[in-house]
Amino acid sequence: MGVPPAIQTGRRGSKWGALPEIRTGPAIAPFVRPVELEITVPIASDLDIVTARQRGRTLALQLGYSSMDGTLVAAAISELARNIVLYAKRGEIVLSNVADGSRRGMIVVARDEGPGIADVSRAVAAGHSTSGGLGLGLSGVRRLVDEFEISSELGKGTTVTIRWWRR
């Protein structure tokens, strides 16, 4: 039957607060559904990374986020898309706006059918790198967003879903 995919969820860690806990098993909760808009950017090259980050920043600004928040959105998308190119070779970034009651926000889903992540807890820990970098990738993305979820299964791929809520 195989090992169930690993899931990590949680809210943005402040510079003073703790980061989200790590959980494994089936999906914790269904995602809030996108409303009105969905943009899919296929990812297979460095040029696609640039395209995804530009579209994400543009969407954030159109949704009323500040310029600074738009830059943070672009940085998170850039890291997720870079991981797709580096580890899976191809995948996609899906950008959309979301609503949950009176809250409005933005959701980014990075999806690939690559090799998967053997140890999700380790992969999202600060300082862990399999590419020889500083190990700030997924842990950095986790710190930038309000909600973070990662699901990965060896041989089947990885999906990272992140959300920002407008303040």
The neighbour count for residue 76, using CB atoms within 10 Å, is: 25
- Contact assessment for residue 142 and residue 126, using Cβ atoms and an 8 Å cutoff: no
State the 10-residue block means of pLDDT for the chain, 167 residues long. 43 43 42 69 97 96 94 94 94 94 93 92 68 62 92 95 92
CA 25, CA 27: separation in Å to the nearest integer?
A: 7
Task: Note the pLDDT of residue 125.
Answer: 74
Task: Note the pLDDT of residue 134.
Answer: 39
- Contact assessment for residue 109 and residue 94, using Cβ atoms and an 8 Å cutoff: yes
CA 156, CA 164: separation in Å to the nearest integer?
A: 27
Q: Whose structure tokens read 């790590």? A: 22
Task: Note the pLDDT of residue 67.
Answer: 95
- Residue 107's identity, in one-letter code, is I
Helix ranges restricted to H, the chain: 46-62, 67-83, 120-123, 137-144
Task: Note the pLDDT of residue 164.
Answer: 93
Q: Exposed (0-12), middle (13-18) or buried (19+): which is 54, by Cβ within 10 Å?
A: middle
CA 41, CA 25: separation in Å to the nearest integer?
A: 29
3-class SS of residue 154 = coil
Q: What is the CATH number of domain 6-13+44-165?
A: 3.30.565.10
Q: Whose structure tokens read 């997720």? A: 80
pLDDT digits 0-9 by tens, 98-115: 988 888 999 999 999 999
Q: What does pTM read for this prediction?
A: 0.77
Domain ranges of the chain: 6-13+44-165
